[in-house]
Structure 1
Amino acid sequence: MTGGAGCGKSHVIKCVYQEATKLLRQLPRLPFTGTAAYNISGKTLHSILKLPKSLKPPYKGLGNSLDEVRAVLSNVEILIIDEISMVSKDLLAYVHWRFQQIKGNNRFMGGVSVLAVGDFFQLPPLGRAKPLCVAEDGMLDFWNENFQMISLTEIMRQKDDRAFAELLNRIRVKGKADLLSEDDRSLLIQAVTDPKECPMDVLHIFATNKQVDNHNAAVVASFGAVTVDIQAE
């Protein structure tokens, strides 16, 4: 499931998670002690599945950790992977092999249903790895072989400012060599560019943590309240 910013991807994840959990609780074959739908992001796949540092073949099994991982994931029926743009082909292959081992069968992902959510126009995988949607010769391609793409198109978050939201999505897919239309350029020029002209109480976005810290400190100082330090015990 993909789509631009503000189209409701996170909301759909919550709905799927809640509805799936309600339905899976009713299955008599599941000794339901936790949640049968697991939502994990690309950053935590390594920790929950105990993946090795190197994801290159040959596959390294769980060994003595198999029982420990099975205790947590053996009843999982639906796997929701968020931020799928950050998942490489090697990582997806390892997740597939892990669930085959956990579930004890040779079906794709061990028979677990997978909902992958994200936007391939956002963060790519770490290092030099190509996103899942980019075909590469000689690479295992579990993505194109097993997934169907669903795109959310209706903007929900900025529905009260549709012109600006639609502009953001046009920029999202714009190539570096593509020129902005005059209408889009005019709308962007209306934005405040001088920080001194921007009110302190609106959302600010900075490129570095240092700039964030400086701004936050300035906002706190503007309140005029006395700062009290309390020594923790």
Structure 2
Amino acid sequence: MNDAPLDHAAELARTREFFAVRAADWEVRFPDDGPRYEAAVAELGLHPGQAVLDAGCGTGRALPALRRTVGLDGTVLGLDLTPEMLQQAARAGRAAVAALVVGDCGQLPVRTAALDAVFAAGLIAHLPEPAANLAELARVTRPGGRLALFHPIGRAALAARHGRRITPEDLRAEPNLRPLLAGAGWRLERYVDEDSRFLALAVRVG
């Protein structure tokens, strides 16, 4: 018997439960992250009229910056697994700048090669099947499109926040992330891991 579907569903349920109880005060807990989100969005190199997905958008901190970058003629989609996070995004007025969708990054409601870019803040640590999920992000992105894997603090600072140490198995370590992305259809072009931010920029190949 193959338990993979059950494990996948159980992992999604755990992630949803984790964020549901934290949604209401999420931005209060991290009040100073906004400028770092804006800087990361700027590095995606988007242009007016383009289409972008914020995968695992949470309360939608990146959505206003994404909208400003692609303009009124562009498309901005904010997708998150947790309805409570999207409810907070709507309360913050972010439904006015993006379409907010409850969904799973493993099965995106987006047609193939429809997007110019994907922005993903804090996402990779919560993907139940990282290789398959990154491949799904590649599916919906045109060749030459870009992916930004971002966190407003670096790996060491994040581990310290949670009372842990970085391990060699960390998927975000460059020696692990580069081949993981390559196998999913991405080429890692820039990697930054410092106390003030984590940013991996990749390009869709093929």
Whether these two folds match at TM > 0.5 is: no
More strand by share: 2
Larger radius of gyration: 1
TM-score normalised to structure 2 length: 0.36
